[in-house]
Amino acid sequence: MGCGAAGYGAVRGPPGPRGGEAGASQRAGLQREVPSNCIKTSKYNIITFLPVNLFEQFQEVANTYFLFLLILQLIPQISSLSWFTTIVPLVLVLTITAVKDATDDYFRHKSDNQVNNRQSQVLISGVLRQEQWMNVRVGDIIKLENNQFVAADLLLLSSSEPHGLCYIETAELDGETNMKVRQAIPVTSELGDTSKLAQFDGEVICEPPNNKLDKFGGTLYWKENKYPLSNQNMLLRGCVLRNTEWCFGLVIFAGPDTKLMQNSGRTKFKRTSIDRLMNTLVLWIFGFLVCMGVILAIGNAIWEHEVGVCFQIYLPWDEGVHSAFFSGFLSFWSYIIILNTVVPISLYVSVEVIRLGHSYFINWDKKMYCAKRRTPAEARTTTLNEELGQVEYIFSDKTGTLTQNIMVFSKCSVNARSYGDVQDMLGHKAELGERPEPVDFSFNPLADPRFQFWDPSLLEAIKLGDPHVHEFFRLLSLCHTVMSEEKSEGELYYKAQSPDEGALVTAARNFGFVFRSRTPKTITVHELGRAITYQLLAILDFNNIRKRMSVIVRSPEGKIRLYCKGADTILLERLHPINQDLTNVTTDHLNEYAGEGLRTLVLAYKDLEESYYEEWSERLHRASSAHEAREDRLAQLYDEVEHDMMLLGATAIEDKLQQGVPETIAILTLANIKIWVLTGDKQETAVNIGYSCKMLTDDMTEVFVITGHTVLEVREELRKAREKMMDASRSMSNGFSYQEKLSSSKLTSVLEAIAGEYALVINGHSLAHALEADMEVEFLETACACKAVICCRVTPLQKAQVVELVKKYKKAVTLAIGDGANDVSMIKTAHIGVGISGQEGIQAVLASDYSFSQFKFLQRLLLVHGRWSYLRMCKFLCYFFYKNFAFTMVHFWFGFFCGFSAQTVYDQYFITLYNIVYTSLPVLAMGVFDQDVPEQRSMEYPKLYEPGQLNLLFNKREFFICIAQGIYTSVLMFFIPYGVFADATRDDGAQLADYQSFAVTVATSLVIVVSVQIGLDTGFWTAINHFFIWGSLAAYFAILFAMHSDGLFQMFPNQFRFVGNAQNTLAQPTVWLTIALTTVVCIMPVVAFRFLKLDLKPELSDTVRYTQLVRKKQKTQHRCMRRAGRVGSRRSGYAFSHQEGFGELIMSGKNMRLSSLALSSFTARPSTGWIETLRKKKGSDSSTAGSPSSAASKALKV
C-alpha cells in the first residue's frame, strides 16, 4: 500500500488479473510495503529455534550464572568439583524449557495455519476463484456468503440486500452477538455481478492502519468524483456475515494491518511477583556467597602465610602458586564453586515442574468444564499460577463476560397492575424453585416457541379484551425499528438492531400482537389473528440525549396516535397531569423492577388532531431540509409533540447474566478483591448490570457519577466525591480518629480506610481527562476508595490505560477478563489475562493466559487453584532454601578446620545427587499436591485468600527466617558429629574419626533431618508423598552402600576408592546415636515453635481445619435465604442498547426489499382460525402444559 502525503494509504481496484492493484499511488516519494494477509503469531521456525531460544534463556540471570560456574569448574587450578555436577542440571533445565517453548510455538503454528488456509472467493480476471486467506492481497475484490467470516478489512461494494445493506455479527471483535448494519455507498451498490465489478477501477485513499474498531476515514476516487467513506461502509476481519446471501468487498487492510490484528498488540512476557522477588533474592544470595568466599579466601591466605609455609616439603603449593595471597585468590574461586549450591539450578527445574503440574490441575478440573459448550478450562501459560492466589483487582468486560447479551421480557406494569410475578395456589409470591409450567402459547401459530412467561394472568387479560393491555402490546408491536422476514408461511425472523427491541417485539408477538411486515410508509400487525395495516407517518428516532423513541401512525379508522417508549426519568415528566395516580403506582413498580436489576422502559401514547399534525409535519419537513442547526431544530419539534402523553405502563427486561455471576462477585468481594467493570456500553446499561450482579446495591452510601466534559469539570467532580467520603467518614467515626490503612503501594491514602460503601461510575469522555498525567493520581485515589468502579463508553486503549494505572501506583496483582477483540489490550496489559471461551469470538482467548467458558469459574480459579498454587509455591521455596543452606553451610564451617583448602565435607557424588535425587521428589510432591484446607472450605471462607494478597507466605522476612533455620541446622549438623568424633572409638577400640566416616555421618544426618522437616511441612498427605519421602531415604541408603561396594570399586577403582566405608561407619551404634541426637536437636525447636504458635496465635486456616475436625460428623445445615425486598431511594432501571439512525433508514425505505412493498401478500392472509382456537381454549389454559423447546428465551432468530 503506497503511503499518501499525510501518511494515508492508497488502494486501487481493477483492472488487473486479480481485479485489484495495491500501492498504485505513491505520493511525496513515500512508499510502504504492503503486507500479505498471512498472519503469524509464532516466534520460531526450525532454523531459528535453537539460537533464538538459547539466547532468550541465557537472558535469565540464573542461567548465565550457572554457565559462569560451569566455565570456572573447567579450570583445574580452582575446581574442587567435577564439571558434571553443574552441566547435567544446566542441560536438563535448558532442555525442559526448550521443549516447553517448542510445544507452545507448535500450537501457535498450528493455529496460524488453520486461519491462513481458510478459503475465500477472489475475483481474478473477471472470474471468482477459491483462494486461501494467506493469498488475499490489498486491492482484491472478494465475495462473502452468509455465515462466512470476513477475511480482511473490506470496503463494502455491494450486497444481495436493497441499497447495498448487509448485516454482520461482531462477536469476534467486541463480544456482542446482536447484529449490526453496514451499507455500501450508493455509487457502488449497483455493482452486483462480476462483470461490472471487474471493470471497477476506483482508488481509495484512507487512514494508515490503526486499532480503532469504531472509526475509519477515507475517500473513494472513481469516475472523476470522490465519495467519503466511514466505518459504516467497512467490514472488519473477524466479523461474520449474517442474514445476507452475499456481498462483495474491496480489501483495504490485510494481515497484520487489519484492525483485529492491530488490537491484538504485542505479547508481553509476564513474570510473577515471586519471580521478581526471586531475582532479588538470588542477587542477595550471590552477594552472601561472595562474602563467604572472601572470608574463606582471607582465611586461606593467612593460614598459608602462617602455617602452610611450614609444611611446604610434603604439602607444596600447586604449580603456578607462588604466594599465600595468590593461593587465597584461587581459594576464593574454589569456594564460589563449592558454595554455589545455596542456589542450585535444580530450583528452577523444580519450579517449572510444579507450575506445569498446577496447570494440568486447572485443565483437568471437571468443575470448571462446561458440558453445554463442551469447553474445559485451559491454562494457556504455566508461569503465572501462583499469581492467581494474589489478585487484588479484577477488570471485567460486561457484554459476553458478565452477561449473555440475551434479553428476556420478564415483567410489565399495565394500568397500575404488575404482571410477571409467579403466584402459588394461595395467591402468594412463589419462591424461585416453585415455578410452575410456563404460559402455553401453543394456540398461537405465529408464537416464538423459545419465548417463556410464567404469569398466566397477562394472557387472561388479553383474552378478556382489556383495552389497556391491548394498547400496551399494540405499542410494542408498532414502536420499533425491527425488520421482519418471512421465509415460509408463519415462520417469522426478526432482524433487530438491539436485543432489547427484539425482546419487546417478540413478547408482543407471543401475546397476540404480531409485527408482520413494514414498508417505508406502513406497518402491518396481526392483532389477535386479524391483519391491520397502520400508516407510518413519522419515526422520532432514539438517541442517547432523548433516551426515547416515538412513532406516529394513522389507524385504518383514520385516528392519528403517537406511541412513545423511553426512560422513566424522561417520560414521567412528559405525562399529562391526569396520570398522577397511575404514575405513583407505576413508579412503585419501576422501583421494584429496578431493585431486581431489570432494565425498564416506560410506555405512553398521545392522540393527535389532524390539523395539528399537518401543521407540525410541515415544520418537521422544513427542519429536515435545513442546512444549519438541523439536529437542534428536529430535537425541538420532537420535544414539542412528546408532551402531555397518557401513561400505558412499563416493561422490565432481564439482561440475562452469565450463570452464577452475582454469587461469584459477592464471594470475590469477601476475599477483598475489588472488581472494576470496563465496558464500551453506555452508562445506563452498565449501571443496570451493576445492580443486577450485585456490584452496586441500594444499601450503598452513595454512587458517584462522573460525566464532566472538560478537565476542570472532571477534577471538580472527583474532588466533591472525595470530600463527601471524608465528611461521611468523619461523622460516622463520632470524633474518634481512625487508623490509616497500611499499604505496600506508593499511593497510601486515608480514603482507603473510610467508613461506608461507595461506588464510582465514569464515562469514557470523562475518563480520557481523568487519565491525564496531572489527574490520574486523584482519579485512582477516588476509585480505590470505592467498593465498585464502572467505566462506561471506554475504548480498548482506555481499558489498557486503566489497568496500567493500577499496576503503576498500587503495585497490586491485576486480572483482566473479557471475551472480545476489544478486550485484548486489557488482557495483555494485566498481570493475568483471562479469556471467556465458547462464544463466537476467540481473540480474547488467543491473547489470554487462562480461558474458560463462564465467569463463575473465576471464583474457583482464584480461591482454589490460585490459592493452592501460591501456598504450594511458597512452602516449596521456603523449604528449598532451608535445605540448601543446611546442606551448603557445612562446607563453610568445615573450612575453618581444613586450612581453608576448599576441601568438601561430602563426596562429589553426594553433592551431585543431593538436589537431583535425595531431596527433589519429596519437595516436588509437596509443591504439587499440598493443601492446607479442602477446596470446599476455600470457597466457604474467602478470607483465606488474603495472605496471598498481602504476600505473607513468602517474602523477605520469611526468606531470612528460612536461611536462619538452615544456618542453625548446618551448625548443629557439623559441630555435633565433629564433637562426638573427636573422642569416639569403634567397637574394636580403634579411632572412629576419619574423613570418610565423618562425611557419611554428616550426609546421613542431613538427609534424615530434611526428610523429617518436609514431613512436618506437609499438610496434606497422599500416597505419592509417602512414596517420595520414604523412597528418597531408601534411595539414599541404596546408592550410599552401592558406591562403597566391591563391585563399583573393581569397575572404577579411581572413582570409588573407599570400599566398605559406609557399611563400617553405619554399623557403629555411636554413629546412629549421633545421627539421632542431631535430628532431635535440629527438629525439636521447630516443633515447639509451631505448637506454641498454633495454640497462642492460630491462623485462619488453622481455625478452619480445627472446625472441620469438630464438625466432621455433624450434618451440614442449609440456611434458606429469602430474597430481601428493595428499600432505599428512587433509582431508574432504564437501559436500552438501541443506536441512533435506524428510524431515518426505515423511513427512507433503503432497507426494504421490493417484494415487501406489496402489502397485499400479507394483508390477504386471513388467520380466523387463531381467534377461534383462542376462544375454545379459554378456561382450559390451567390444565394445558406448554412445551417450549428451550428454557433460555432468545430475543432474535438468526
Q: Which three cell numbers stand for residue 366?
A: 471437571
Residue 569 and residue 1134 in contact, taking contact as beta carbons nearer than 8 Å: yes
1161-1177 burial, b for 16+ CB within 10 Å, e for fewer? ebbeeebeebeebbeee
The number of helix segments (H) and strand segments (E) in the chain equals 40, 35
CA distances from 800 to 156, 807, 1067 (A): 31, 11, 68
Q: CA 815, CA 834: separation in Å to the nearest integer?
A: 7
For the chain, how far is it from start to end, CA to CA, in angstroms? 37
Closest to 644 (Cα-Cα) out of 551, 579, 718, 689: 579
Q: CA 268, CA 829: separation in Å to the nearest integer?
A: 8
Q: Say which residues have a Cβ less than 8 Å from residue 21's Cβ, sequence separation at least 6.
A: 12, 13, 14, 139
Q: Say which residues have a Cβ less than 8 Å from residue 327's Cβ, sequence separation at least 6.
A: 300, 301, 304, 308, 317, 321
Kindly report the CA angle at 1168 between 1165 and 1169, in degrees rounded to 5? 115
Half-sphere exposure of 1051 (CA within 13 A, CB side): 6
Closest to 349 (Cα-Cα) out of 765, 768, 916: 916
CA distances from 1181 to 261, 467, 1091 (A): 55, 21, 70
Taking residue 1065's Cβ as centre, other Cβ atoms within 10 Å add up to 24
C-alpha 504 chain-centroid distance: 32
- Helix (H/G/I), strand (E/B), else coil: 396: strand
Q: CA 416, CA 531: separation in Å to the nearest integer?
A: 29
775-791 burial, b for 16+ CB within 10 Å, e for fewer? ebebbbbbbbbbbbbbb
E strand spans, 146-278: 153-159, 165-169, 179-183, 203-206, 218-222, 225-229, 234-235, 240-242, 246-253
| Helical packing angle, 61-73 and 84-116, nearest 10° | 140
DSSP state of 863: I
Q: CA 21, CA 17: separation in Å to the nearest integer?
A: 9
Q: Which three cell numbers stand for residue 149?
A: 467470516
Q: CA 307, CA 369: separation in Å to the nearest integer?
A: 72
Closest to 194 (Cα-Cα) out of 144, 130, 248: 248
DSSP state of 597: T
Q: CA 980, CA 312: separation in Å to the nearest integer?
A: 31
E strand spans, 243-364: 246-253
State yes or no: is 541 an active-site residue. Answer: no
Radius of gyration of the CA atoms of the chain, in A? 38
* Virtual torsion, Cα 870, 833, 855, 756, nearest 10 deg: 70
**Residue type for position 854:** Q
Phi, psi torsion values for 782, nearest 5 degrees:
-70, -45
Closest to 159 (Cα-Cα) out of 250, 252, 249: 249
Which residue intervals of 743-866 are DSSP H helices?
764-770, 776-784, 796-810, 824-829, 843-847, 857-860
Phi, psi torsion values for 264, nearest 5 degrees:
-65, -30
Catalytic residue among 153, 365, 397, 568: 397
User: Which active-site residues does the annotation give?
Assistant: 397
